[in-house]
Amino acid sequence: MNFGDCLLRVRRTAPLVHAVTNYVTAGAVADLLTAAGARPVMADDPREAPEITARAAGLCLNLGTPHQETLRTMLTSGEQAARLGRPILLDPVGIGGSGHRAHMARRLLSTLPLTAIRGNITEIKALVSPAAREEGVDASPRDAVGEGQTGQAMEQLAGPARQLGAILAATGAIDLVTDGSRGYIIRNGHPRMGRLSGTGCQLSALMTAFLAACPDASLEAAAAAVCMMGLAGEAAAGRLRPGEGIMTYRIYLMDAIDTMTAEQLEEGANVETWTRTASPICTD
């Protein structure tokens, strides 16, 4: 399935996405899902969350503002999604910033059959390496993946992806998406996206919608969502005029998501495919 077909499925099926997300970006997440053609629903009370999840096509779990009640909601919602065979995506926001976040993420990781995990490269490293630490929720410059490091970075992600049985998406200036055997290196996006709060949360929800609409092509669906967000960022930057700043950029970004066609996504995707190479056999 190509990326354009993935978008067509989202628009045709309008999947209901239950986003247990953080209060900082909840409105932005709901707006983006609607613009993309999906339908958002947000319930964080554990007394109703499983029932909401049962009616949804996909579940997005976001650790942006974690507390114990959130963990209870995420676990019960995740168990419901698992029983029904619905995709579950985890966004481990700022996982390396505190032991509380790390505990919650690893509890979810050990309990739920996650379909995908999306975060910046620092968050993904902290998730798979307990010793990693970070400040805030932004990717650390020391973790940035340069042009000469993409192959090595993909190999490093492939092992955890296979071990977890989940798609790993490490997003940044260069985006990496892999299921452990195959993957995509994506070079869409614009630096202004990093100045907007919530673009990562929005992308996680968008990816959940794509996974829900394309259960038979999960890797392509995840990569298509990443490309769509990046292309929208490029289109928004291209519309800016002198005197227009970051809030205008946010509006243009949403417009680009709303108006993007399958043909634009397919033609504009700046993608390199990747396949894991077998590790060499070492002999003494």
| Residue 271 or 137, more confident | 271
**Residue 142: pLDDT over 70:** no
| Residue 144 or 98, more confident | 98
SS3 category, 1: coil
Type and span of the H or E element at 36:
helix 26-36
Q: How big is the CA angle at 115 (ends 111 and 117), to the nearest 5 degrees?
A: 85
Residues 111, 75 contacting (CB under 8 angstroms): yes
Mean pLDDT of 87-97: 92
User: Which domains can be identified in the chain, with CATH numbers?
Assistant: 3-275 (3.40.1190.20)
pLDDT at 122: 87
pLDDT at 129: 73
Dig out the tokens for 185 from the structure: 């290196």
**Residue 282: pLDDT over 50:** no
Dig out the tokens for 193 from the structure: 């996206």
Which of 130-139, 143-152, 265-274 is modeled with the greatest confidence? 265-274
**Residue 138: pLDDT over 50:** no
Residue 147: pLDDT band (50, 70, 90) is: confident
pLDDT at 143: 59
pLDDT at 131: 56
**Residue 133: pLDDT over 70:** no
**Residue 137: pLDDT over 80:** no
Instruction: Return the closest-CA partner of residue 271 out of 185, 205, 200.
Output: 185
pLDDT at 144: 63
Phi, psi for residue 248 in degrees, rounded to 5:
-65, -40
**Residue 66: pLDDT over 60:** yes
Q: How far apart are CA 199 and CA 183, in angstroms?
A: 22
